[in-house]
Structure 1
Amino acid sequence: MEAIKLFEEMVLHGMVADEFTYSSVFKAFSNVGLLNQGQKAHGRLVVSGLKISNVFVASALVDMYSKFGKMKDARIVSDQILDKDVVVMSALIVGYTQNGEDVEALEIFRHMIKDGIRANDFTFSSTLTACGNLGDMSKGKQIHALVSKSGFDFAVASRTALLTLYSKGGLLGDSFKVFDGFVNANIVTWTALITGLVQNGKEESALSFFCQMIRSSISPNAFTLSTVLRACSVLALVKEGRNIHGLVLRMGLDRNSFVAATLIDMYGKCGITDDARSIFDDLGDLNVVAVNSMISAYAQNGYGAEAVKLFDQMQELRVKPDNGTLVSVLSACSNAGLLEEGRRIFSSIEDNPEIEMSRDHYGCMVDLLGRAGKLKEAETLINQVKNPDVVLWRTLLSSCRIHGKVEMAERVMNRIVELEPGDEGAHTLMTNAYASKENWNEVTKMKVMMKKMNLKKNIPAMSWIEI
């Protein structure tokens, strides 16, 4: 802000800015989020007769427009440069990657290499990030080879991006190889490894590496703590979760929105809703992530009335609900059997033009109606959905089994078979529906059919003990 004020004073005093002035002030505008002022300065630069083709000015402008998500403007600026260099091209690639346009980022990288522009560490890291976002391991491995050929094997940004790439692709062996190549792994690298393990269902390993990181005197940041708390949530390890909570408090990160949300989620998954609510109430600035976590905690533990109450308070809290909020509160109604509250909330979604109805919303409502024994109403609701999927019909089939409505179950089963003949879960539910009515002939037929189709029961649930 001080730099921007000084620039404005300079203009008022009639002093003519040069390329270096503009390149600096464009960075300032992007850092503080002042798009309009940045655009005005861009216009002033053009009027003054200075050429955008100057690489310092161009790269700063590309970076500024990229940070504001104005990729068309960023591309127009880069196209005006005749002699493009690695700084400008990297700024453009980073911009596309950060704005979710990963295909374009890879295309720019391809043109850059074709034009003989040598990539640097930041170029490689952004391009590898784009490959990871797209799940394109083939291109990622090709770029890995180019990283090695270019001598950036031990560059921190590239190696961290490689680690993340392989983790996203489920190639944990390759991730470990990349991680082992670090001489002095920093917090970003450790966090990338731990995050990859959690994303691939290796929560216990993630917690083990977190302990190794602490023993290596690496201080965690908010992202690291959020990730390991998520691991504790999945495993319902309340003791470890409390230890990490203590670390959060000592580091003064208890007001961080990401950390607070994962703490609420962790206590909710462990069934300790009072502690979750205590953290929620201590938050100064509430956001939708924290509210969603609290509603979800209530929903998972059968506190439907509390979840609905918090949902109704969102307008008062000045927090706008999103898709996750609506799914959580409808799930809470379903778990607690709050039929009328669920109907009210579902109707509010249907009547709100700003909210796009999703299959998740319908799925929650079908489950709620089914549990309440309103099977006809649930079937009518499914028929309102354009191209209903197997999950919706299976939800209704489960309710038919619970309430012993075999005739409707057979009709629903036929719809499922049309969509997915080999659905193991549906066949198991239908078998159980026949068994509940002691129709053993049909049970035998279903089992014979499942054997012929080589269908097995779903993977059984697991319990574990902590030693």
Structure 2
Amino acid sequence: MRHVLHCIRANDFVQANRLQSHMQLHLFQPKFSFIHNQLLHLFAKCGKLSYARDLFDNMTHIDIYSWNSLLSSYAKLGLVEDLRTVFDQMPFHDSVSYNTLIAYFATNWHSDKIHERVVIVGCADNTFVWNAITGVYAKYGDIHRARWFFDRTTYKNVVSWNLMISGYVKLGNHDKHVDDARRMFSEIPRKDEICWTKMIVGYAQNRREDDALMLFGDMLHGDVRPDIYTISSVVSSCAKLASLCHGQVVDGKVIVMSVDHSMLVSSALVDLYCKCAVTLDAWRNFGTMPIRNMIT
């Protein structure tokens, strides 16, 4: 077993294949599937489908790990029909099985096939899968289908809410989409700093700076600590509005709350103070920047 593990760590397919041939020659069948699974994983990782399939077909102990390794072999080589066949032949599926299938269809953007496989397999109670698919559709801009899965998810966690908010604000250039994101934001039972940041950044990216500032105020009143992405988006909104007073308030909050002056925050503050011709404050923030580039 030591030699097998050494091959795995070194990604040494040639030596691993020799060991496999040696075991077959001497009719060695381990009591547990660990050794064969490790070899199967290596063959799959190296894209050696024929070797992986031959090993799999001759295994006496096949578990979910074995099936998932074979599944990943077909996904890696883009053999979609074989991928679907193996998936359907599996006695049961876990999150890795679904992830492999979803990742393949998402990467190659077969939206209908994602929908088809999940509905046909009947995993309506698998919250992990439905949340993952919601994220795929939201990422690629198919917000209507993302909403279909989101509405049917039995347990909505903060991740699924954030995925939908990101999907709506990413569509941009239409106030309706941003308003839809805000309605979803309002429905979240427990908002964390990521939820607040997603919505604030969404407003800022869609030229709704006033809304970003108002929501930031609500965030602070809700005793939620902003991060550097929240702060930089709010300061950028102040710069676009040339609102010095709001920018100074945010700058003061950054200091009081001991939020790190990262490149993002410091750059946004420099931009604000330069636009408002407050050169001393611009210089002060410029001096705190850990890294300076041509723009700053």
The alpha-carbon deviation at position 145 of structure 1 amounts to 0.4
Structure 2 counterpart of 1:295, from 239, 261, 267: 267
Q: Deviations over 1:240-287 (max 9, x none)?
A: 22112343x44xx54xxxx33223322331343334444555235x6x
Q: Deviations over 1:162-187 (max 9, x none)?
A: 22222233222222222221233222
Taking the aligned partners of 1:230 and 1:91, their CA distance within structure 2 comes to 40
The alpha-carbon deviation at position 232 of structure 1 amounts to 3.6
Q: Deviations over 1:277-314 (max 9, x none)?
A: 44555235x6xxx4124313432563596667756655
Matched, 1:263 2:231: yes
Matched, 1:273 2:247: yes
Name the residue aligned to 1:124.
98
Name the residue aligned to 1:242.
217
Letter in 2 for 1:194: I
Q: What does 1:74-89 align with in structure 2 at a 5 Å threshold?
A: 74-75=45-46, 82-83=55-56, 86-88=64-66
Name the residue aligned to 2:182.
207
Q: What does 1:8-407 align with in structure 2 at a 5 Å threshold?
A: 39=9, 55-56=33-34, 74-75=45-46, 82-83=55-56, 86-88=64-66, 90=68, 105=76, 107=78, 111-115=82-86, 117-118=89-90, 120=93, 122=95, 123-133=97-107, 136=109, 139-201=110-172, 202-214=177-189, 219-234=190-205, 235-236=208-209, 237=211, 238-247=213-222, 249-250=223-224, 253-254=225-226, 259-271=227-239, 272-278=246-252, 280-281=254-255, 282-283=258-259, 290-299=262-271, 302-303=274-275, 314=289, 317=290, 326=293, 330=295
Letter in 2 for 1:142: K
Are residues 232 and 51 of structure 1, via their aligned partners in 2, closer, same or farther at CA, if it must alter by over 3 Å? farther
Are residues 189 and 297 of structure 1, via their aligned partners in 2, closer, same or farther at CA, if it must alter by over 3 Å? same
Are residues 121 and 74 of structure 1, via their aligned partners in 2, closer, same or farther at CA, if it must alter by over 3 Å? same
Which secondary structure does the structure 2 equivalent of 1:302 belong to? helix
Which secondary structure does the structure 2 equivalent of 1:270 belong to? helix
Name the residue aligned to 2:15.
none
Which secondary structure does the structure 2 equivalent of 1:170 belong to? coil
Are residues 313 and 170 of structure 1, via their aligned partners in 2, closer, same or farther at CA, if it must alter by over 3 Å? same
Taking the aligned partners of 1:265 and 1:92, their CA distance within structure 2 comes to 45
Any stretches of 5+ residues in structure 1 without a counterpart?
1-15, 23-37, 64-70, 97-102, 333-467
Are residues 59 and 158 of structure 1, via their aligned partners in 2, closer, same or farther at CA, if it must alter by over 3 Å? farther
Q: Deviations over 1:212-250 (max 9, x none)?
A: 113xxxx23443232122124232111222112343x44
Q: Is the 8 A contact 2:182 2:199 kept in 1?
A: yes
Are residues 166 and 295 of structure 1, via their aligned partners in 2, closer, same or farther at CA, if it must alter by over 3 Å? same
Q: Is the 8 A contact 2:37 2:65 kept in 1?
A: yes
If asked which structure has higher relative contact order (CA below 8 Å, sep 6+), I would say 2
The root-mean-square deviation of aligned C-alpha atoms, in Å, is: 4.6
Number of equivalenced pairs: 252
Taking the aligned partners of 2:71 and 2:287, their CA distance within structure 1 comes to 43
Taking the aligned partners of 1:221 and 1:91, their CA distance within structure 2 comes to 36
Are residues 112 and 133 of structure 1, via their aligned partners in 2, closer, same or farther at CA, if it must alter by over 3 Å? closer
Q: Deviations over 1:426-458 (max 9, x none)?
A: xxxxxxxxxxxxxxxxxxxxxxxxxxxxxxxxx
Are residues 208 and 198 of structure 1, via their aligned partners in 2, closer, same or farther at CA, if it must alter by over 3 Å? same
Name the residue aligned to 2:16.
none
Higher-Rg member (1/2): 1
Q: Is the 8 A contact 1:167 1:200 kept in 2?
A: no
Name the residue aligned to 2:59.
none
Taking the aligned partners of 2:30 and 2:251, their CA distance within structure 1 comes to 54
Q: Is the 8 A contact 1:62 1:88 kept in 2?
A: yes
Q: Which moved more, 1:186-195 or 1:111-120?
A: 111-120
Q: Deviations over 1:311-362 (max 9, x none)?
A: 6655xx3x5x7xxxx4xx52x5xxxxxxxxxxxxxxxxxxxxxxxxxxxxxx
Taking the aligned partners of 2:282 and 2:29, their CA distance within structure 1 comes to 58
Taking the aligned partners of 1:157 and 1:266, their CA distance within structure 2 comes to 33
Q: Deviations over 1:82-118 (max 9, x none)?
A: 2276535647988x9xxxxxx9657266543344643
Identity score, percent: 12
Any stretches of 5+ residues in structure 2 without a counterpart?
13-18, 57-61, 240-245
Are residues 267 and 112 of structure 1, via their aligned partners in 2, closer, same or farther at CA, if it must alter by over 3 Å? same
Are residues 57 and 196 of structure 1, via their aligned partners in 2, closer, same or farther at CA, if it must alter by over 3 Å? farther
The alpha-carbon deviation at position 150 of structure 1 amounts to 0.9
Q: Is the 8 A contact 1:268 1:301 kept in 2?
A: no
Which secondary structure does the structure 2 equivalent of 1:205 belong to? helix
Letter in 2 for 1:263: I
Q: Is the 8 A contact 2:235 2:272 kept in 1?
A: no
Length-normalised TM-score, structure 2: 0.63
